[in-house]
Amino acid sequence: MSINTQVNQQQDAYIENRGRLLVKCPDKPGIVSILSTFLHTHHSNIIESSQYSSNPENGTFFIRIAFHCEGLRDKAIQMEKNFEQIAAVHNMEFSFHYPQERTRSAIFVSKEPHCLMELLWEWQNGDLDTDIVVVISNHEDARPFVEALGIPYYFIPANKEIRKQVEAEQIRLMDEYNVDLLILARYMQILTPDFVDHFENRIINIHHSFLPAFIGAGPYERAYARGVKLIGATSHYVTNNLDEGPIIEQDVERVDHRDNIVELKKIGRTIERRVLAKAVKWHLENRIIVEGNKTIVFH
């Protein structure tokens, strides 16, 4: 057996025995003890734990636990079933996640490829823990470098007159490719409520502005006209309120009066790339709990 084969087998076994548990519940003393005792009872070792309470007296408690458990593949179903009893007693909303079950992602893009290219680069490097199974665009520009990586590329013209038919075809493709996560990498089309409802908290968008400033189209032009000293980008989950979904990540760069609109856009593209990549990574690593129109993000 080659060294590379041995390393790959060890890595597979490592991932196979890893799990993540996300919990949201009313806060009260002893929650961490209850969770750690449960995992200990199931011969699991906690390797990472992050928690937050909105108010220690009468608030909501959030926690993300990453754990290692030998033979987890065979134990997972029974563990989840056993945990249901604890969750019922303590009014917990919870979810188990397993890195061995890779997320299947679709990327939507229009003409500007910088966010798409960043995601493909991260994916090629092994830094984006997902399978990119399809790319969909209302332009042909990105086809060559997407298909060069062996990823199916679908050109679907889109405008408001044919939006219903377009989204029906997109939903069909999402079902065909068994997509878990939709990433809008500068896809410059408004999604209808019917489409968004199909993928609640599973569509991540990048908006080229530090929201809530400059919602909608042309934010750089409006930022320039306003004479801003900071420009930014925001990645958020998509809801039926335009650019107002739960925010996952934001970043900014300082600018001044010397920067024209072209230069603002150039600076902005760099921010957009890193902000979207971070948001997608955190989603894939199950580091996000959506709470109303906000997010709890465990870095």
Q: Which residues are catalytic?
A: 243
Where do we find the tokens 């991932």? Answer: 15
3-state SS assignment for residue 26: strand
Instruction: Tell me the pairing of strands 230-237 and 203-207.
Output: antiparallel
- Cα distance between residue 4 and residue 10, in whole Å: 10
Smallest Cα–Cα separation from 280: which of 120, 140, 150? 120
138 φ/ψ angles, rounded to the nearest 5 degrees:
-95, 15
Return the structure tokens found at 187.
Answer: 């896809």
- Cα distance between residue 278 and residue 276, in whole Å: 5
Contacts of 55 (CB under 8 A, 6+ apart): 27
Q: Is the dihedral of CA 66, 250, 201, 171 positive or negative?
A: negative
Smallest Cα–Cα separation from 289: which of 32, 71, 65, 48? 65
Smallest Cα–Cα separation from 220: which of 153, 282, 268? 268
Task: Name beta bridge partners: 64.
Answer: 22, 50
Question: 219 preceded by cis ω (within 30°)?
Answer: no
